[in-house]
């Protein structure tokens, strides 16, 4: 087996372990409530040691929201892949459109997690941290498009923060009316309205 093959195998095993820990943490939180979940319980549920858990996540909150972080990284990658001459807000909106076209309707696990967060403020705070990390990535992508038009990066940060706030608010509203409207219909309408309000910044 070549060194490259061995490295690829190791990376796949690491990814599988990280995913298993995430799924175990989420499963226990949905069954027992997040306050009752311990790192030890997550490790046992995933069939690994406490030390192995610590190699992948700093705490149980990180394990809960690993799926969201991975989705947000995919979204940032899609923004990065948009045409370089595309206006920032258009790039953000079209990347989001492509993201949801790839993933389809929100899956039951995501819906259940959203409702869980609404009942537990501590988890909501951890979720905001996930969005904050993504905001930094997105603002860097926007800044690259604005170049010398945004010397101190204020416009880039405002656009990235507004974009994620629209998605987060759309998710919150959709969770209250899941049978009345598709999530992306709600989010795309909200993004269009926000884009009109940001016409001077785009």
| pLDDT higher than threshold 70 for residue 70 | yes
- CATH fold of 3-59: Arc Repressor Mutant, subunit A (1.10.10)
Distance CA 22, CA 12 (A): 15
Distance CA 180, CA 132 (A): 30
> What's the pLDDT score for residue 130?
78
Closest CA relative to residue 145, chosen from 80, 74, 76, 72: 80
Distance CA 74, CA 69 (A): 9
Cβ neighbours for 121, distance < 8 A, ≥ 6 positions apart? none
Distance CA 22, CA 130 (A): 15
116-147 tens-digit pLDDT: 777 787 787 777 777 788 899 999 999 988 88
Lowest mean pLDDT among 100-104, 117-121, 142-146, 167-171: 117-121
Q: Which residue has the tokens 């705070």?
A: 125
Residue spans per domain, the chain = 3-59, 65-197
**H-assigned helices in the chain:** 3-32, 39-46, 50-56, 60-64, 66-80, 88-103, 108-119, 121-146, 154-176, 183-197
Architecture of domain 65-197 in CATH?
Orthogonal Bundle (1.10)
Predicted model pTM: 0.80
Q: Which structure tokens are listed for 86? A: 């595309």
Q: Is 59 helix (H, G, I), strand (E, B) or coil?
A: coil
Q: Which structure tokens are listed for 22? A: 């995430």
């Amino acid at each position: 087996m070549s060194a490259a093959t061995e490295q690829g195998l190791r990376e796949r095993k690491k990814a599988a372990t990280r995913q298993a820990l995430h799924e175990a943490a989420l499963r226990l939180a949905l069954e027992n409530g997040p306050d009752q979940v311990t790192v030890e319980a997550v490790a046992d549920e995933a069939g690994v040691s406490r030390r192995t858990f610590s190699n992948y996540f700093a705490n149980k909150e990180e394990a809960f929201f690993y799926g969201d972080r991975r989705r947000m990284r995919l979204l940032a990658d899609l923004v990065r892949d948009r045409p370089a001459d595309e206006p920032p807000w258009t790039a953000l909106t079209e990347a989001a459109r492509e993201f949801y076209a790839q993933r389809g309707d929100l899956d039951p696990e995501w819906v259940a997690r959203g409702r869980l967060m609404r009942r537990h403020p501590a988890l909501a705070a951890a979720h905001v941290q996930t969005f904050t990390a993504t905001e930094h990535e997105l603002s860097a992508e926007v800044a690259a498009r604005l170049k010398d038009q945004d010397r101190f990066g204020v416009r880039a940060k405002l656009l990235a923060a507004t974009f994620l706030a629209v998605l987060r608010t759309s998710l919150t509203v959709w969770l209250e009316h899941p049978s009345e409207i598709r999530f992306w219909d709600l989010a795309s309408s909200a993004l269009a309205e926000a884009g009109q309000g940001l016409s001077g910044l785009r």
